């Protein structure tokens, strides 16, 4: 075995390695090596582990590499390899169980012969230039657990692009499926609900997928991240999502979903109020680390029950039509780090109770109708590095300590009645008039006293 991974080696792949005919493993990953891969590497007939990832190779791989039938683990990711994968790759390396060629410049289609690599557990072609429809017969890859196809040009924006998903239902070990940022068209297939119960992540965002989200999605009981953002989905968000007790991340941004927001939440062009039951939804206690409803047409008040989401770290309701006062119950979300409420119609003053948000890092309340003085307690929020109160109706003296002492972290433009603060803010000085003294004139009253 040769293992020199994770160093700062420079130069080329050493040709002499091919002289070690009994060599079983080569790991030169995470260095700064470049140049070409020698053809003579094919002489290593016992080689089962090859990792040359995270280097600076920018050549075409010699076809002889793909003829080392003993290879089981091949890691080539994070280089600049070019060319296409050989059409017979699955026949030439039938024992491979891990193949990673992600983050390179490979082109062409994914060879159908991958169907022959029945031991394949991980197939990673992330971030290349592969194109065309996926024609691999996944029905024959029952051991496949992770499939990374994202950030390519796969698919033809046609109705049959997702047919291979039905074949994936035979992959009983499937845990992760990434198809996002491609050209997949077609209808969201109900068969996706028949994927392995072990699956934890499905990423299908940024494609041309249409149709509706089936209620059968509830069958994926172990899923913790589900993303179909930036597609052409229609219909409503199924309430069945609420039965996914392990769900922590849900991304449905920029589709054409309609209706009201179910207790399990939504991220689209939905209209209506946020239901008060949101705070009672127990499955949200994990999902609610990130709660993003920004850029929709939502209105009304923030329900008081939002304070029940004690794990909330990021809360974004920006660019909606919310109004009334900011609820005092937000103070219960003590783990909150990012609070974005800009671009609404919130009114009233900032609640005193928000001083409990000791973990807050960003607070954006700009473009609302908030008024009153800027609370002094904001000075004491030690982690607060960004505060935007622009275009409201705040008045009075601007504090100077904490975030207010950082000119780049504070934004107050559009509040015409503010004064003081750092000189760099160019606000007028505060002129507090002396209290008016009421003069009391004492009159001397002379009372004549008669002496008898």
Residue found under tokens 């940022």: 181
Gap between the Cα atoms of 211 and 159, Å rounded: 11
Gap between the Cα atoms of 49 and 443, Å rounded: 108
Among 3.20.20.190, 3.30.300.30, 3.40.640.10, 3.80.10.10, what is the CATH number of 289-430? Answer: 3.80.10.10
Write a three-state SS string for 256-291: CCCCCCCCCCCCCCCEEECCHHHHHCCCHHHHCCEE
Helix (H, G, I), strand (E, B), or coil: what is residue 200?
coil
Copy the structure tokens of residue 267. Answer: 């991220």
Q: Kindly report, residue by residue over 202-246, the tens digit of the pLDDT.
A: 999 999 999 999 999 999 999 988 888 889 988 877 878 878 888
**8 A C-beta contact, residue 77 and residue 123:** no
Query: What is the mean pLDDT of each successive set of 10 residues along the chain, which is 452 residues long?
Result: 92 88 94 92 93 94 93 97 96 96 97 97 98 97 97 96 95 96 94 94 95 92 89 83 78 69 42 44 48 71 79 84 90 92 95 92 97 95 96 95 93 95 91 58 46 44
User: How many residues are listed for the chain in this entry?
Assistant: 452
CB within 8 Å of 31: residues ≥ 6 apart:
4, 5, 6, 7, 8, 9, 10, 54, 55
Predicted local distance difference test score (pLDDT) of residue 235: 82
Neighbours of 423 (CB within 10 A): 9
The residue among 202, 207, 196 whose CA lies nearest residue 161 is: 207
Copy the structure tokens of residue 377. Answer: 């307690």
Question: What is the chain's alpha carbon radius of gyration, rounded to the nearest angstrom?
Answer: 32
Gap between the Cα atoms of 165 and 290, Å rounded: 29
pTM, to two decimals: 0.71
**8 A C-beta contact, residue 86 and residue 109:** no
Copy the structure tokens of residue 439. Answer: 């003069």
Buried/exposed 388-416: b ≥16 CB within 10 Å, e otherwise = bbbbbbbeebbbeebbbeeeeebbbeebe
Q: Kindly report, residue by residue over 249-278, the tens digit of the pLDDT.
A: 777 777 777 654 444 443 344 444 544 434
**8 A C-beta contact, residue 331 and residue 351:** yes
Q: What is the DSSP letter of 203?
A: E
Predicted local distance difference test score (pLDDT) of residue 299: 75
């Amino acid at each position: 075995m040769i293992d020199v991974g994770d160093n700062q080696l420079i130069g080329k792949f050493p040709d002499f390695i091919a002289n070690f005919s009994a060599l079983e493993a080569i790991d030169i990953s995470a260095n700064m090596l470049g140049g070409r891969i020698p053809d003579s590497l094919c002489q290593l007939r016992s080689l089962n582990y090859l990792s040359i990832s995270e280097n600076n190779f920018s050549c075409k791989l010699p076809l002889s590499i793909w003829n080392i039938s003993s290879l089981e683990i091949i890691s080539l990711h994070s280089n600049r390899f070019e060319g296409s994968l050989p059409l017979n790759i699955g026949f030439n390396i039938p024992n491979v169980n891990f193949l990673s060629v992600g983050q390179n410049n490979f082109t062409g289609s994914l060879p159908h012969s991958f169907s022959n690599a029945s031991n394949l557990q991980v197939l990673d072609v992330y971030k290349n230039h592969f194109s065309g429809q996926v024609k691999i017969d996944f029905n024959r890859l029952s051991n496949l657990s992770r499939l990374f196809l994202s950030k390519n040009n796969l698919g033809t924006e046609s109705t049959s692009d997702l047919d291979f998903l039905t074949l994936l239902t035979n992959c009983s070990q499937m845990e992760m499926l990434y198809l996002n940022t491609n050209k997949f068209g077609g209808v969201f297939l109900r068969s996706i609900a028949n994927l392995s119960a072990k699956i934890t992540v499905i990423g299908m965002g940024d494609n041309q997928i249409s149709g509706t989200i089936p209620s059968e999605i509830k069958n994926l009981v172990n899923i913790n991240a589900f993303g179909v953002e930036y597609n052409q989905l229609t219909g409503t968000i199924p309430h069945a999502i609420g039965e996914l007790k392990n769900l922590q991340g849900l991304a449905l941004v920029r589709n054409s979903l309609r209706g009201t927001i179910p207790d399990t939440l939504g991220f689209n062009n939905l209209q209506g109020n946020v239901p008060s039951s949101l705070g009672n939804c127990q499955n949200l206690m994990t999902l609610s680390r990130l709660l993003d409803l920004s850029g929709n047409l939502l209105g009304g008040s923030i329900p008081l029950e939002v304070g029940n989401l004690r794990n909330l770290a990021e809360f974004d309701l920006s660019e909606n039509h919310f109004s009334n006062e900011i609820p005092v119950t937000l103070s219960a979300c003590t783990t909150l780090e990012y609070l974005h409420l800009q671009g609404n119609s919130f009114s009233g003053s900032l609640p005193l109770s928000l001083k409990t948000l000791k973990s807050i890092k960003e607070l954006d309340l700009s473009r609302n109708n908030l008024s009153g003085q800027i609370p002094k307690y904001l000075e004491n929020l030690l982690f607060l590095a960004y505060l935007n109160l622009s275009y409201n109706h705040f008045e009075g003296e601007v504090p100077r300590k904490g975030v207010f002492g950082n000119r780049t972290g504070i934004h107050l433009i559009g509040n015409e009645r503010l004064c003081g603060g750092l000189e760099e803010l160019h606000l007028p000085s505060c002129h507090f008039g002396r209290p008016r003294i009421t003069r009391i004139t004492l009159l001397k009253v002379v009372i004549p006293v008669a002496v008898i």
